[in-house]
Structure 1
Amino acid sequence: MADKRRFDLFARLISERFHVPRVFDVAGGQGRLNEALTKLGHTVTTFDMRHKHLAVNYACREFTLGEPPETDLVVGMHPDGATRIIIEYAALHRLPFAVVPCCSDNSMPYNPWMRHLAQLARDKGFTSVEDHCLPMEGRARVVLGAFE
């Protein structure tokens, strides 16, 4: 069973670490992270293919590298197969990112996948790459990347 606090905990971390107004929430499911970030004062657009979602700013489409960079930060909470594109998009547009991976998109075990993502961020030019753990049950490790 997933920890019901995960969206609020991740939103709080994002808000404390990145003092930015606009956020892209990639593979955001029903929009619960969007809802939590909006309560903290951010303007959020959630990208996902779900037709049933909360009443939040929602782009019902796949997120691609071609998305206009009308944001200050790219995030993902358990974004499954979109994890890598979050980092690649952020690097392409020199934006910070924060992602809580739940699984790899290539069947790699979890710990090697986390190391791979951190190395991918460094290889893409991020000057600050951190690993943070949210105080919750389940997949709680966050990879954060920024340009200093």
Structure 2
Amino acid sequence: MADKRRFDLFARFLVERFPAPRIFDIAGGQGRLNEALTKLGRTVTTFDLRHKHLPVRFAERAFTLDEPCEAELLVGMHPDGATRIIIEYAAIHRLPFAVVPCCSDNSMPYNPWMRHLAALARERGFTTVEEQALPMEGRARVILGEFSGG
């Protein structure tokens, strides 16, 4: 069962770690992370295919590499198959990213998937790639990447 505090915990982590005022929340479901980040003073756009969502800034579509860059940070809380695109987009636009993966998009077991994502970020030029843990139950490992000076 998912920890009900996960959105607030991740939002606090993001605000403490990154000064980014504008955030793209990729595969954000109903927009709960958006809601938590907005309460902390951030401007967030959630991208997801859901038509039912909270009253937050919401783009009802899949996120692609062609999306105009109007953010300083990309995030994903259990973004399923969108995890890789978060890293790819962030690398193209030299933005930091932070994701809490829950499962791979290719049936890879969790620990190898986490190692694969870290390697992908390094391959794409991120100078800092690290892992942190949120104090919650379930999939709580955050992988993040930043470029020097960011």
* Fold agreement, TM-score > 0.5: yes
Counterpart mapping for 1:2-81 below 5 A: 2-81=2-81
Cross-structure match for 1:122: 122
- The count of residues paired between Structure 1 and Structure 2 equals 148
Residue by residue over 1:9-62, the C-alpha shift from the partner in whole angstroms, topping out at 9 and shown as x without a partner, is: 000010000011000000000000000000010000000000000000000000
Shift of 1:78: 0.1
In structure 2, what residue type is equivalent to 1:30? Q
Residue by residue over 1:54-77, the C-alpha shift from the partner in whole angstroms, topping out at 9 and shown as x without a partner, is: 000000000000000110000000
In structure 2, what residue type is equivalent to 1:97? F
Residue by residue over 1:97-147, the C-alpha shift from the partner in whole angstroms, topping out at 9 and shown as x without a partner, is: 000000000000000000000000000000000100100000000001000
Q: Does 1:135 align with 2:97?
A: no
Q: Does 1:102 align with 2:75?
A: no
**SS at structure 1 position matched to 2:114:** helix
For residues 15 and 130 of structure 2, what CA distance do their matches in structure 1 show?
16
For residues 11 and 118 of structure 1, what CA distance do their matches in structure 2 show?
21
Aligned-residue Cα RMSD (Å) equals 0.3
For residues 97 and 27 of structure 1, what CA distance do their matches in structure 2 show?
14
Q: Which runs of 4+ in 1 moved over 6 A?
A: none
Q: TM-score under structure 2 normalisation? A: 0.98
In structure 2, what residue type is equivalent to 1:115? R
For residues 15 and 124 of structure 1, what CA distance do their matches in structure 2 show?
24
What percentage of residue pairs aligned between the two structures are identical? 80
**SS at structure 1 position matched to 2:44:** strand
Shift of 1:95: 0.2
For residues 3 and 141 of structure 2, what CA distance do their matches in structure 1 show?
13
Query: Unpaired runs of 5+ in structure 2?
Result: none
Query: Unpaired runs of 5+ in structure 1?
Result: none
Q: TM-score under structure 1 normalisation? A: 0.99
**SS at structure 2 position matched to 1:52:** coil
